[in-house]
Amino acid sequence: GMVYVEHNWGSAIYQSNQYNAQMGAWVCSPGDVNGDGKGDVAYGAPYWNANLGGEGAYWVRLVGSTGSWVRYGTQRSAHLGTCLAGGDYNGDGFADLGIAEPWFNNNNVTNVGRVFTYLGGGNTYYKQMPYESQLKKHNGENLGRLGRSDLGTKVTLHVERAGTAAGREQVRLEWWCRPFLDGLGHDQLSRDYTAWMPTNGPAAYGSSVPITQVISGLTPNTMYSLQWRVKSKSPYFPSTRWLCLDASGRGQADFRTAPGTVSVGDEPVLTLQPMAAFPNPFSSRTQVQFDVKETGPVSLRVLDVSGRLVRTLVDETRFSGNHESAWDGIDEHGQHVAAGVYFAHLETTEGKSVQRLTLVR
């Protein structure tokens, strides 16, 4: 067996070199299990033979570093690593990993099976401040990982219980919300924050107060990374760790804002079907994705801010369905264009849509 891994930081090949080990029978990305901001990879070899025969094994590779670990089964033919699944099992904001060993025998009971659970974590203030799961939402609807917001220019960050385990104290909400840049995450040297506010009277979980903050000024139809924490003036409970959506790290995108309507020149533009570009902003190449509801002629052109044609990407009949076309920052004459804002202008039988593109050099 063999596992191929492709990611923004490079690529890798892992192989077992063992007959019938079946490495790669199950592969998953549990998320950022070690808190370094990069999604990690886990895979199993359910028929791996260390010294028992078919006990199985699984590996966790920490993407972006040389770190990794492996666990081998302890029972013959139990096939550890048959199935792996990631998620935030305990609600602490870190990605966790579950590994199945379906043919495990418990005493005299055959093939009862069992599941190992690894709880992810990192160097954090995890035990210094209690908290409940924070939710990104707007109008009461939770925004899931890689979900699309209700509005194109803002989202609402809500912390149900911000406080300390001690008595009353001053707390505030801090966050990063930056456009996702080619797998590099966002600028972590700058952050926004609310004013200090007093917590309520002490209760079972200490003293706390709910905080709701509207994050505005966002660009429509753009991927964003978002992390947040609660900071306190107490020297004993200085802050929570930085939190993000389940299975997400600071080097990963978290959500996309809703599409907006952008006019180029005096021509009216109507957004009728989903359209997106990823990565955006981009430095060398972006992939423009769009939907065609009915088979027919499709025109996809890149225009500059004055409405002049820069590049024609599509000018042909397309069948209904999902489509994409790449733009590498080169114009109709084969020349690299300057950094700046451009617009992908889509026209189909249903109407017209525009996607803003930001080229950085």
The pLDDT tens digits along the chain (361 residues) read 888 877 655 677 777 788 888 988 889 888 777 666 677 888 999 999 988 889 999 988 877 666 677 888 889 999 998 988 887 666 555 677 888 898 988 877 788 888 888 776 543 333 322 223 333 334 445 666 667 777 788 888 888 777 665 567 888 888 888 776 544 444 444 578 888 888 887 776 677 788 888 888 888 878 788 888 888 887 777 888 777 765 555 556 777 787 765 444 444 444 445 678 888 888 889 999 888 888 888 899 998 877 788 999 998 888 888 888 999 999 998 899 998 889 898 888 877 788 888 898 7
Domain boundaries, the chain: 2-118, 135-256, 275-359
Q: What is the pLDDT of residue 122?
A: 46
Q: What is the pLDDT of residue 151?
A: 78
Q: What is the pLDDT of residue 313?
A: 94
In eight-state DSSP terms, residue 294 is S
Helix (H) or strand (E) holding 77: none
Distance CA(90)–CA(261), nearest Å, equals 40
Q: Does domain 135-256 have CATH number 1.10.10?
A: no
pTM for the structure as a whole: 0.41
- Return the number of other C-beta atoms located less than 10 Å from residue 226's C-beta: 23
Shared fold status for 135-256 and 275-359: yes
Distance CA(266)–CA(40), nearest Å, equals 47
Q: What is the pLDDT of residue 145?
A: 62
Question: What are φ and ψ of residue 147, in 5° steps?
Answer: -80, 175
Distance CA(60)–CA(44), nearest Å, equals 9
Amino acid (one-letter) located at 304: D
Distance CA(84)–CA(99), nearest Å, equals 5
Q: Does domain 275-359 have CATH number 3.40.50.300?
A: no
Distance CA(253)–CA(186), nearest Å, equals 9
Task: Yes or no: say if 174 and 229 are a contact pair by the CB < 8 Å rule.
Answer: yes
11, burial (CB in 10 Å: exposed 0-12, middle 13-18, buried 19+): exposed
Instruction: Map 108-145 to HEC letters.
Output: CECCCCEEEEECCCCCCCCCCCCCCCCEEEECCEECCC
Exposure string of 140-178, with b = 16+ CB inside 10 Å and e = fewer, is eeebebeeebebbebbbbbbebbbbbeebbebbbbbbbb
Q: Match 């609807």 to its residue by tokens.
A: 141
Pairing of strands 84-87, 96-101: antiparallel
Q: What is the pLDDT of residue 135?
A: 35
Distance CA(161)–CA(207), nearest Å, equals 9
Distance CA(207)–CA(245), nearest Å, equals 25
Q: What is the pLDDT of residue 107?
A: 74
